[in-house]
Structure 1
Amino acid sequence: MTSPDQRQQMEQLEAKLAAAKQRGAPKPRADEHYSQANMAWRMVIELVAGLGIGFGIGYGLDVLFGTLPIFMVLFVMLGLAAGVKTMLRTAEEIQGKQQAEPAEQDTPHSGKDEGA
């Protein structure tokens, strides 16, 4: 049989272990808001980059050929289309990641905590 002194030591040890587990437990993500903001900025930058590149190419061709607004307008529109297409691809990527996270959590664990 165990003496009361040993039981008290075991309870203290269990309390210390529980406190250590709580400290080491995964915390809810505080940076989730920031990652969503980062994705939003990424999409905005993709759109602006497409417009800027289209403007640069169009303006350069207009200066080269001496036709000021024609190529600039054409390539700005193409840059806008490319930026929107890239934004949509990023949105699909984000949506795929968000749908994959709950699916990973719902899958049963293979052999863990069974038959202990």
Structure 2
Amino acid sequence: MSADLIDQPASVDADGRSAGDQPTGTSDQLAAGEIKAIRERIDEIDQALIDLWQERSRLSQQVGRTRLASGGTRLVLSREREIVERFREALGPDGTQVALLLLRAGRGPL
């Protein structure tokens, strides 16, 4: 058994968690509590992002259906370039990837 495990309280394992808890990476209870609170907020943000992603996808698909039903084109490349550029400007190179994933979710594979 390592010294780290011996020095820790019985209720906390080497990952800094109690039985049934997710690891926090620390055995310091104050820090662990802060990490848990921050993670709760992160989880809320993640859920909001998922909800917004799904709403955006539905709306994009609706735009595509409406455009096709009126005799328009399947894609408007200038609009897609505008979206990619907006994300790239705001988020850097990763923004380009995010935008491309959003566009694919909204229009489906080409």
Task: Determine if the TM-score, normalized by the shorter chain, exceeds 0.5.
Answer: no
- Structure 1 or 2: larger helix share? 1
Q: TM-score normalised to the size of structure 2?
A: 0.40
Larger Rg: 1
Q: TM-score normalised to the size of structure 1?
A: 0.38
Ranked by relative contact order (alpha carbons within 8 Å, sequence separation 6 or more), the top structure is 1
